[in-house]
Structure 1
Amino acid sequence: MSQRREIPLSELHRHTGEEFFTSDWLAIDAEHLSAFATASYLDAEHADLTASKNNPLGATLVDGFLLTSLLTMFHFNNSPVRGEGIYGFNYGLDRVRYTLPVFIGQNIRCVATIAEVTPRPDGTVLVTTDNTIEVEGEEKPAMVARWLSLFATREDGTNVER
């Protein structure tokens, strides 16, 4: 893994507009694509896959929602936010666009930028990141996504909106 910097959550707002992280390259493999299909009920037992089988790009095309789900792993492994008892909740996505197909065997990485940091009255911090999934050797990105994460602490449990 790449060398990571550390940023206390209380100072994250000072880094708005800056790169949050750039991940290492990750090779997408058939096993993970298959596991994703099973986990999302995209298998013959639960869905008619005729349209997917007739896909003109072929069976090695990586599902866009798999790319989106990889944001979790990229952020878990690369986020510079540090501090005792901090936890980030998925707060949602404002915009996701799939701009280039990805195929099994290609390497991808995530480049994340801090778009906005908003401290909230309940003690939580809403962090918005702009995420670009790059494909090694390609100029155009595979995906761009604006992701919102709600960071909270475990101090007494009262600062987490339910």
Structure 2
Amino acid sequence: MKLQDLAGKIGETLGTSEWMTVDQSRIDAFADVTEDHQFIHVNPEMAKATPLGSTVAHGFLTLSLLSKMLETAVEKPQVAMSINYGFDKVRFLSFVKSGARVRGHFRLLEMEEKRPGQWQQKVEATVEIEGETKPALIAEWIFQHFG
């Protein structure tokens, strides 16, 4: 897909990812990498005694899964290079309990040619939790594409 073609798709859904399981081993590995070992993430017995009822994924773990979700949901544009430029907005709306499955929905919000050969794209990313009505998160994700 050419970047110019995306400019005509503002407001449209770009795709939905495959389901991904967020199991305890993934949560534990993320805790190790980030050194965030809060008990609600890594101690099933203690977490069971909270109103959550089980361990939950770190919000940043769920956010970090967006890259893989996008890869399975959206056709990559034909460019020399794309970079993650950041987020305008991120909201964590629901907990992702250990063992839950999540997937991403991606909708194009903006597509602007900043200079010849350089485009900036903003995508609304919503992470759905299987069987839940409220999403895990909603974010406005910005990319820059070159050539």
Whether these two folds match at TM > 0.5 is: yes
> Which consecutive unaligned segments of at least 5 residues does structure 1 have?
1-6, 44-48, 154-162
Quote the Cα distance in structure 2 between the aligned partners of 1:124 and 1:100: 35
How far, CA to CA, are the matches of 1:78 and 1:87 in structure 2? 19
Q: Which runs of 5+ in 2 are unaligned?
A: none
Q: Residue 124 of structure 2 aligns with which residue?
A: 130
- Give the CA deviation at 1:58: 5.3
Distance 1:81 1:58, change over 3 A: same
With over 3 angstroms needed to count, the CA separation of the structure-2 counterparts of 1:12 and 1:22, relative to structure 1, is: same
Q: Deviation of residue 40 (structure 1)?
A: 1.3
Q: Say yes or no: does 1:113 pair with 2:94.
A: no
TM alignment of 1:17-96, pairs within 5 A: 17-43=11-37, 49=38, 56=50, 57=52, 60-83=55-78, 85-96=79-90
1:9–1:81 contact (8 Å) kept in structure 2: no
Q: Taking structure 2 as the reference length, what is the TM-score of the superposition?
A: 0.85
With the length of structure 1 as denominator, give the TM-score of the two structures. Answer: 0.78
Q: Deviations over 1:88-120 (max 9, x none)?
A: 211011111111111111111100100000111
C-alpha deviations, 1:51-72, integer Å up to 9, x for none? Answer: 8666632552111000111111
How many aligned residue pairs are there?
141
Identify the match of residue 98 of structure 2 among 91, 96, 104. 104
Deviations 1:108-157 (A, max 9, x none): 1100100000111152111000011001111111110000011113xxxx
Does the 8 A contact of 1:8 with 1:81 survive in 2? no
Identity across aligned pairs (percent)?
29
Match of 1:16 in 2: 10
1:129 is paired with a residue whose SS is strand
- Report the secondary structure of 1:90's partner residue: strand
**Would you say the 8 A contact 1:114–1:128 is kept in 2?**
yes
